[in-house]
Amino acid sequence: MATQHSRSAARAMMAPAVFLLLVWMLVPLILTLWFSTLDYRPLRGTFDCCEGLGNYVRFVSSSAFWDSILTTLQLLGGVLLITVVGGIGLAILLDQPIWGQGIVRILVIAPFFVMPTVSALVWKNMFMNPVNGLFAHAFKAVGLEPVDWLSQFPLFSIILIVSWQWLPFATLILLTAIQSLDSEQFEAAEMDGAGPFARFGYITLPHLARSITVVVLIQTIFLLSIFAEIFVTTGGAFGTRTLTYLVYQRVIESQNVGLGSAGGIIAVILANIVAAILMRVVGKNLDA
Amino acid sequence: MARAVTTQRKIVFTALAWGIGLMIFFPILWTILTSFKTEATAIADPPVFFNFDWTLENYQVVQERSDYMRYLWNSVALALGSTFLGILIAVPAAWSMAFVPTRRTKNVLLWMLSTKMLPAVGVLYPIRLILIQLGLLDSKIALIFILMLINLPIIIWMLYTYFREIPGEILEAARMDGATLKDEILYVLTPMAIPGIASTVLLNIILAWNEAFWTLTLTTVNAAPLTAFIASYSSPEGLFYAKLSAASTMAIAPILIMGWFSQKQLVRGLTFGAVK
C-alpha cells in the first residue's frame, strides 16, 4: 500500500532515533570492552596494553565478586518475592467493591513516584535510625532494645526500602490485568461450587501468569542496576555490595578501570540473559 | 439477606484496603508532617502526629541555606529538556513504524528496547571519559542528552502503541483528499495522538526527574539536580529531620501530583505495551 516515496520518508524519520541509540549503545560498550583488556589505572598513570583476559580472571576469581553475586541474588529474590506476592494480594483487594477505591489506589501507588534518594534517606533516618527513628521509638515503647537496622540487618533493610518502592509497580500492573478478567467466568465457577481458593488457583492465577512474568522480568532489569538506594544508605558496606555497586567502586572509587570494565562487561552479559527472555515475552505481544 | 452479606463484605474489604493503603503511604505522610515541625518535635519520643505547632521555618531555611532553587531549576531543566528532545526524535520514528511498517520494524523495536537494558554501570567510565574530553562533565547539556537517550526506547514504544490504535483508513482518506505527508502528520495525526503524546510526556518527565544513577555519578555542582541535592543530606552532619523532610517534600511533590494523573498510562509505558 505504501508508496516508494512514503517508504523512504519513513526511513528518514526513523534515522535520527536509530542512529542516536546505535551510537549510545556501541561507542561506550566498545570502549569498555577495550578498557577491560588493559591495565588501566589513571591514578597510577598506567595505560598498558594486552592484559588479555587477565582482568576477567582476576575479577571473577576475587571473593568480592561471588559475594556481590550472592548479594545481588538475595536482593533480587527478596524484592521480587515481596512485590509479586504483595502485589497479587493488593491487586485482588483493590479489585473488590470498596468505598473510596480511587483514593486507596492513589495511596498505594504513591511510593513509586518518590525519587530513590528521597525514599532511601527517609527510611534510613526517620524510620531505621537506632536513636531517633520511628522503629526505635516503637521498639522502646513495647520494651524492646532498639535495632540499628542498617548495620545489623543491612540487606534486609535495603530489601524493605526497595520493595516499598516497587510494590506499587507490581500492584498497578497486576490490577490492570485482573480488571481485564471476565467476571462471567468467575460467576460460573462460583455456581459450580468453586470456593475462593479454587477460583484463585484455577482462574485468577493462570490469567495473571503473563503479567506476573512481565512484572518479574522488568523489575529484574531495573533491580539489577539498583544504585542510589545503596549509595545513600550503606555505601556498599556490611555485605550490601551488589554487582553494580562493586563495578562502580572498582571504576570510580579505586580507579582500577581495567578491572572494573571487565566487571562491567560481565554485568552486561548477565543482564542480557534476562533481557533476552523479556524480549521474547514482549515480542510475542507485537504479533497480536 | 444476600444484600446484607455483600454490605458486610464491602465494609471489611474497605477497612482492610484503607488500612494497607495508609500503611504504604505512611512514610510519605510522615515526611510531609515532619517538614512542618521544629527539629525538636521531629525527633520527639513518643512521636507527635498532628498536635504540634505547625511551622514553615524549615522550608525557608532549606531555600536560603542550600541554594535549593538552583537544584530545582536543574531538575526542571533536565526533565523538560530531555522530554522535549526525546519527543522531537521519537514522534517521527514511532509514526513511521506504526504506519509504514516493514519486515524489520519488529526487530528494530525490540533492538531499541534492548538498549534500555544495558546496565548503566557497564558504560559509566567511557561516558565519563568522553564527557571530560568534551569538557561536558557536570553540564546540563550532557545530562539532558543522556536522560533523553535512556528514556528514548520507552517513549518510542509508548507512542508506537498509541499510534497503532489510530485507524489507518483516516490517513488514507486524508491522502485521497490531497493531504501531503506534512499535512497528514500536522492536521490529522497530531490532534488524534495528543492524549497519547501527553501521557508519554508525563511519564518521561517523571522518569527523568527521578533518575538517580547518571545524575549522581556525572554531576558535582553545576548540573546537580534534586536527586543529588537530597543525597547530600546523607552525611551525618546533615541530620536534621525537619529540614530533610522539607527538602524531600519539595522534591517529590510535583512528581507525586503528576504521577497520580498518569497512573493509567504508566502501566502501558513501563511494560512496553505488554500490559494495557
Distances in Å between the Cα of A157 and the Cα atoms of A77, A123, B29, B48 are 14, 9, 20, 24
Residues of chain B found within 8 Å of residue A6, distances taken between Cβ atoms: 100, 181
Please tell me whether the overall predicted TM-score, pTM, comes out greater than 0.95 for this model.
no
Tell me the longest C-alpha to C-alpha distance in chain B. Answer: 77
Inter-CA distances, B249 with A99, B28, B99, B197, B228, Å: 28, 8, 43, 28, 15
Bond preceding residue B46 cis, omega within 30 of 0: yes
Measured CA to CA, the distance from residue B159 to residue A218 in angstroms comes to 19
Q: Residue A39 in 3-state DSSP?
A: strand
Whether the predicted interface score ipTM is above 0.90 = no
Please determine, for residue B29, whether its predicted confidence score (pLDDT) is greater than 80.
Answer: yes
User: Looking at the predicted structure, is the pLDDT value of residue B1 above 60?
Assistant: no
- Residue B165 exposed, middle or buried by CB count within 10 Å (0-12, 13-18, 19+): exposed
pLDDT confidence of residue A86 = 92
The residue ranking higher by pLDDT, B39 or B161, is B161
Contacts of B20 in chain A (CB under 8 A): 90, 93, 108
Q: Rounded distance, CA A266 to CA B16, Å?
A: 45
Percentage of chain B lying above the pLDDT 90 cut: 4
Q: What is the pLDDT of residues A151-204, one digit of tens each?
A: 778 888 889 999 999 998 888 888 888 887 777 777 788 788 777 788 778 888
* pLDDT digit string, tens, across residues B64-121: 777 778 888 888 898 999 999 999 899 888 888 888 778 888 888 878 877 777 778 7
Q: Which three cell numbers stand for residue B220?
A: 558535582
Asked if B121 is an interface residue toward chain A (Cβ–Cβ < 8 A), one would say yes
CATH 1.10.3720.10 region(s) of chain B?
A: 65-270
From A85's Cα to the closest Cα of chain B, the distance in A is: 14
Length of chain A (residues): 288
The per-residue pLDDT for A79 is: 93
Return the pLDDT at A82. 93
Residue B246 in contact with residue B163, Cβ under 8 Å? no
Question: Given a cut of 90, is residue B185 above it in pLDDT?
Answer: no
pLDDT of residue A288: 46
The pLDDT confidence band at residue B140, using thresholds 50, 70 and 90, is: confident
Q: Top-level CATH class of A62-287?
A: mainly alpha
Distance (Å, rounded) from C-alpha B229 to C-alpha B255?
16
Low-confidence ranges of chain A (pLDDT < 50): 1, 288
Closest Cβ opposite residue B251 in set A115, A141, A176:
A115
Half-sphere exposure of A260 (CA within 13 A, CB side): 25
- Give domain B65-270's CATH superfamily: MetI-like (1.10.3720.10)
Percent of chain B's residues with pLDDT above 70? 91
Residue A1: per-residue pLDDT:
46
Strands (E), chain A: 39-41, 46-48
What is the length of chain B? 276
Are the Cβ atoms of B230 and A97 closer than 8 angstroms? no
Contact A286 B106 (CB under 8 A): yes
Preferred mutation among A126, A160, A166 to probe B, highest tally of B CBs within 10 A: A126
